[in-house]
Amino acid sequence: MIIDIVTIFPEFFDTFLSTSIIKRAIALNQVDIRLHQLRDYSHNKHHNIDDTPYGGGVGMLMTFPPFYDVITKLKTEKSTVIYLSPQGKLFNQKIAKKLAISEHLILLCGHYEGIDARVESLIDMELSIGDYVLTGGEIPAMIISDAVTRLIPDVIHEDSAEEDSLQNGWLKYPQYTKPESYKGFSVPEILLSGHHQKIQEWRKEQQIEKTLVKRRDLIKGIKMTDEEKKILEKIKLAKK
């Protein structure tokens, strides 16, 4: 996969690209993350890429020509162009899974008061990472790149990815490691039993209960099996 990130702060990504899973995925050629300095596409001799908005208003707006030029240069028939904006569709694991099978992503990082609205005619998707406003699209670009890259085959262990929170709608079950007990805080006995089937059943129940308690809003969007429906009803009854 190729991820092209268009930004006026390419140095923002230095540590991100040289750390942990992203670093390894790049080294193994599983993903190629390329940075593009938007100022290189400026039509201004001083490399400015912002100007005052027509009709008045506070702040500066990123101009259209540099984005048009860089998108035209980078985009192919296999590209998905994504504008990172607080007005976009909320990014989630379902979208991450969809993007992970793409061959080429182009992420546009806005800044200042935003981007000239004509850019919207050149994009395929507008995404937000939450209902709040950041100073620029660089952090969202890193979040989306990370979430997508870890889903590329062989970047991380496939079983690990499949058991992540939200991967199949549910939150992940609680996990524990050594020591078995500390200061009166102990690991659930079922996890020490060695009975794999019962452990799996316990984990499924814990997933459903945790989702019900912490993120009840997620349950509407989950396509539940008959077994999961029964477990959910059992938990609801127990809590009455």
**What SS3 string covers the chain?**
CEEEEEECCHHHHHHHHCCHHHHHHHHCCCCEEEEEEHHHHCCCCCCCCEECCCCCCCCCEECHHHHHHHHHHHCCCCEEEEEEEEEEEECCHHHHHHHCCCCEEEEEECECCCECHHHHHHCCEEEECCCCCCCECHHHHHHHHHHHHCCCCCCCCHHHHHCCCCCCCCCCCCCCCCCCEECCEECCHHHHCCCHHHHHHHHHHHHHHHHHHHCHHHHHHCCCCHHHHHHHHHHHHHHC
Tell me what pLDDT residue 154 has: 85
Tell me what pLDDT residue 8 has: 96
Higher pLDDT, 111 or 144: 144
Convert the pLDDT of each residue in 13-60 to its tens digit: 999 999 999 999 999 999 999 999 999 999 888 899 999 988 888 889
On the question of pLDDT at 169 being above 90, the answer is no
Higher pLDDT, 64 or 56: 64
Convert the pLDDT of each residue in 136-157 to its tens digit: 999 999 999 999 999 998 898 6
Q: Per residue in 3-32, is it b (16+ CB within 10 Å) or e — as a string?
A: bbbbbbebebbeebbeeeebeebeeeeebe
Tell me what percent of the residues of the chain surpass a pLDDT of 70: 95
On the question of pLDDT at 164 being above 70, the answer is no
Tell me what pLDDT residue 44 has: 86
- The arithmetic mean of pLDDT across residues 131-139, rounded, is 93
Q: In whole angstroms, what is the distance from residue 92 CA to residue 167 CA?
A: 10
**15-24, 98-107, 153-162: the lowest-pLDDT one:** 153-162
Tell me what pLDDT residue 168 has: 76
On the question of pLDDT at 228 being above 60, the answer is yes
Mean pLDDT, the chain, rounded, equals 92
Tell me what pLDDT residue 112 has: 79
Contacts of 150 (CB under 8 A, 6+ apart): 21, 156, 161
Tell how far CA 48 is from the center of its chain. 30
Q: In whole angstroms, what is the distance from residue 237 CA to residue 240 CA?
A: 5
Domains and CATH numbers, the chain: 2-158 (3.40.1280.10), 163-239 (1.10.1270.20)
Q: How much is the pTM?
A: 0.85
Contacts of 62 (CB under 8 A, 6+ apart): 38, 49, 50, 110, 111, 112, 114, 115, 116
On the question of pLDDT at 227 being above 70, the answer is yes
* Cβ 137 vs Cβ 84: under 8 Å: yes
On the question of pLDDT at 165 being above 70, the answer is no
Give the residue numbers marked as catalytic: 86, 113, 150, 164
Q: In whole angstroms, what is the distance from residue 40 CA to residue 94 CA?
A: 34
Tell me what pLDDT residue 35 has: 98
* Cβ 163 vs Cβ 157: under 8 Å: no
Convert the pLDDT of each residue in 82-96 to its tens digit: 999 999 999 999 999
Tell me what percent of the residues of the chain surpass a pLDDT of 90: 82
Tell me what pLDDT residue 13 has: 97
